[in-house]
Amino acid sequence: MLASFQAAAQERCEGGRGRLAAASTINVRIDNDLLGGAGQDQGYSNGFLVSSVSPNLVDYQDDPCLPGSVKRLNRYLAWLQPSGYDEQNMTIGFGQVLFTPTDRRRTELIEDDRPYAAALLFSMGYNARSGDHLRTSQIRAGIVGPSALGKQVQNGAHRLFGQDPFEGWKNQLRDEPVFQVTHEHRQRWVRRVNSDGWGWDATGHLGGSLGNFATYGSTGAEWRFGYQLPNDFGTAPLRPAGENTSPISAAASRYDGLAGHLFIALDGRWVLHDITLDGNTFRNSHSVDKRPFVADVAFGVAVTKGAWKFALARYYRTREFEGQRDAPVYGTFTIGRRF
């Protein structure tokens, strides 16, 4: 579906949208605690996401930029799609996330550390903007458990790089289908760009998520400073409509030279449910006592040149459950190309 989504965006998208608004994008993101620089190999240990971002769309259900399979699926998801906005687009993604305890050598259940868990997730997101306001809605569905292939992926990578494997994957969460619906509103409070191309902006967000994968409410903000800032709603990854995936403003112009900016992002969550900490919903499994409030601080740098984008970020998170030894630190790397 990702391939057909991208092919349709390239081959069928008609004119009249502006050169930049008619562009689609492929992003590949890698998350890993080793990129955090703190020497950790635990908690949110590894993840990846491959996503395709459509051009600006006239309609979610009858737009020539979308393949027929996506348009048919969108008819069933009309309740999730925003309406009444000036510009809109959508994203499709596929990814995996892995979670492990601290001690990789113990084969028995480690009751006072987080469960082994892996998830494979398919996502569809709908983004719509008017001026300085963005609404994003996303649905994710997939599976948690051995079928998510966490043991094979993690230990295969460890052997490839000459590292010891994690020995306790037999204690991971059991297979369970999961879903998650996320809504978020973003408001750009201020944007200041000088005639020489240097500028800064600040954006706030408020939203929430519901599902057996995760249920929470969240709020936060992002500040950016740099040269030729993108006219969007944030660069920090791990958020709906992050990574510069919001619709392109009709007034935006295309800049193909070297551009870059720094960003700092804050996010706080009131967590009601997290299957990777609370354990399986319908079966007995390992679990820990999660903390209800979790906060992230992220900072990073993004660079664009022509059709290419590179971004590197580091995340610092508060402890997520009682008795957690270290506060999590991990990094992310994103590469994207516009078509």
Per residue in 112-168, pLDDT (tens digit) is: 999 999 999 999 999 999 999 999 999 999 999 999 999 999 988 888 877 888 999
Give the residue from 156, 41, 161, 45 showing the smallest Cα distance to 105.
Answer: 41
What gap in Å lies between CA 203 and CA 188, rounded to an integer?
Answer: 4
Residues 6 or more apart whose CB falls under 8 angstroms from that of 265 comprise: 220, 221, 222, 223, 234, 236, 239, 296, 297, 298, 299
Q: Report the topology of domain 1-338.
A: Lipocalin (2.40.128)
Q: 319-333 pLDDT, tens per residue?
A: 999 999 989 999 999
pTM: 0.91
pLDDT at residue 72, rounded to an integer: 93
pLDDT < 50: residue spans in the chain: none
- The encoded tokens of residue 324 equal 């957690």
pLDDT score at 11: 57
Q: Where are the domains of the chain?
A: 1-338
Predicted local distance difference test score (pLDDT) of residue 339 = 85
Give the span between the Cα atoms of 276 and 115, in whole angstroms.
7
* First-to-final CA distance of the chain: 17
